[in-house]
Amino acid sequence: MNIELMGFSPKYKQSIAKKLKAIDITRALISVLLMSTLAACSVDDGSPGTPGEPGGPPASEISTLNISVKDVSFDSGVATVNYRVSNETDEPVVGVPSATYLAAQLLPQGFTNAGNASQWQYFTSESCNSSCDGEFVDHKNGQYSYTFSGTFNGMNNIAFMPGATQRIVIKIGGDSLPDGTDLPITNQHYDWQDQGSEPAYTRNLIDMGTCNTCHNDLAFHGSKYNEVETCVTCHNVDKVSNPGNVFAPMVHSKHLTGFPVSLADCQTCHVADETLTENMNWARVPTMEACGSCHTNIDFPSGQGHPAQVDNSNCVACHNPDWTMSAHSQADTDAVLGQFNVEVVSAKLNGDTVDFSVRLSNPATNEVYSDSADKLDFIDDLRVYANFGISVDYTTRSAKSIKLQDVEPISGSNSVYHYQIAGLTLSDEPANDKGTLALQGKLCSNDTMLANCADTDVTTTIKSSYQFYSATSITEQGRRVVVTNETCGSCHGDQQLNYHGSRNDLEQQCQLCHNPNMLAEATAANPAASTADYKHLVHTLHAGSRESYPDINYPGNIGNCAQCHTTDDSGVLTAALPLNSAVQPLAFNDNTFTSTTSAICSTCHLSDSAIAHMTQQGGVFKGTEADATAGTESCATCHGQGATADVLKVHPIQ
């Protein structure tokens, strides 16, 4: 602004000039602010922006991180990856302080030699923290860019192959934003082909969710890497010096000991999944490296345990997918089990005897067997166990039983046969109590068909089952369900874990004998590890604290109660406090007792301070039965559902 002020004194002119200059500055500032505001309003609608553009209000809370790769571009052969980081509600995460970038390429199946599996080739691992190997740009809106330190071609002595599938893995988290917000560790892989196009092929065999059915949040190298796609990027022949650390042989060999199901069941880990690009690869592409890591008694080149094979070119000639799947399948077992079913159709008390009836049928043909069990030649073993007193977690430590294949039924008609199990110990009020019948057995078979036991020594264990009963009838309601065969089966397979020959119903069968009538050793350092009471037995087995089972290495987080526990009818995890009223104190062989909640918690929390805490809150350790059942424990006040230190909150439950 330039205004001539004629007729005014020089002093007045100087004063007016200063004021006008101040107005110009103010206008300029307002103009800048207005332009900034308008620019922000024009695009700040919460949707992702491109690098350098606003991407919505930044995240203020972060439970999970998501990485979405926009593209990978090349300039003179040097790759730049552009990506966005957001939280669980898709809000941009601004100010991520560090990251790691892995790069690899995929050689197709058969590229290195006929019969060889596809394999990853490692290029590089570059990181940014206080400094960067390459160039890192934070666009301050949830958008980030990283330019690698050089061309992939020649890195790690690997030639870049145009047209091959390429992979970049981005790892972030394990630190915090400038404002102190913790960032969970996250890995994300991005596969592309020909400078950014969708790859025609990639190698994904296993979903991490399958691994985590046993392992929870499986992570390695300081918990930095927690995706299979990350692991294979480095664990390949071009990165690791020890061939045993190549991913497939390494993982197979690590599962040779302590694996909770049959090693022959490849689909425990290689679960059929059409979303995986290499679904069923384990059956389609047999190789010496993969197969030999489980079949360790075979030396393929020398011909030990197998005809000599110098390479993988001829493997599929014999081991075609159908053969491989059949040899590593439960299909024959399932076919045999599909031809037989036993069910309790009635039960009631008669004094200290339980009268019950069973029906035998063939689900495959929807027919019932007209003969009783003692006349069916394919039954190797069929037993029924009985115990009573669900209100006190059963009255005796040894359930009574009969073998149906060895006894004639008392009576029977219309394919329903009647039996008795006598000598039960009843609880104080049997009319208001319940009991359980558990069934187990083995069938003789030949391949997929039931067979005369006189003609074969092959047996198939049936899936055990149970039936609750009251004083007058069978009932659906009975002992509380704390774990299920499904939760146990997430690691152990569907009732494949057999004890005492053929007992595999972990949900209810084991408890008929493994109950509070089993005594703990009074002198044991960890009393829970000395009793066979089911709840203590299972906890200490998985914690690796039983002397007779030193090699058990629980693969998950021992504090994650939801790994085994199920939820009750109201949706609450059965590990919650307060405990069910049927739970009994821990009994010792010197006639002393530990109160119920203290006994459960001290299975894992065995330190002097933990026991002192429980005692201060009314817990009784090795006292009289009257004291242990007096109800003095106040554990649920702080650790009950919804309380300040709810056990469901203080344990790492997922």
Over residues 566-607, the pLDDT tens digits come to: 999 999 999 999 999 999 999 999 999 999 999 999 999 999
- Domains within the chain, CATH numbers bracketed: 1-199 (no CATH), 240-328 (1.10.720.180), 334-481 (2.60.40), 527-650 (no CATH)
Contact 284, 321 (CB under 8 A): yes
Q: How many other C-beta atoms lie within 10 A of the C-beta of residue 490?
A: 17
Q: Which two tokens stand for residue 210?
A: 């399958």
Q: Which residues contact 22 (CB under 8 A, 6 or more apart)?
A: none
Q: Which residues contact 386 (CB under 8 A, 6 or more apart)?
A: 354, 356, 399, 400, 401, 421, 424, 435, 436, 437, 438, 512
Contact 573, 649 (CB under 8 A): no
Reported pTM? 0.81
Contact 177, 184 (CB under 8 A): no
Q: Which two tokens stand for residue 257?
A: 């000991």
Query: Could you tell me the CA-to-CA distances from 303 to 295, 311, 571 in Å, in that order?
Result: 13, 12, 57
pLDDT for 53: 57
169: amino acid identity, one letter: V
pLDDT for 217: 87
pLDDT for 501: 86
Q: Which residues of the chain have pLDDT under 50?
A: 1-49
Q: Please report which helix (H) or strand (E) contains residue 444, including its range.
A: strand 434-446
Contact 91, 57 (CB under 8 A): yes
Query: Could you tell me the CA-to-CA distances from 173 to 189, 191, 245, 374, 621 in Å, in that order?
Result: 15, 21, 26, 64, 44
DSSP 3-state of 630: coil
Measured between alpha carbons, how far is 586 from 598 in angstroms, rounded to an integer?
9
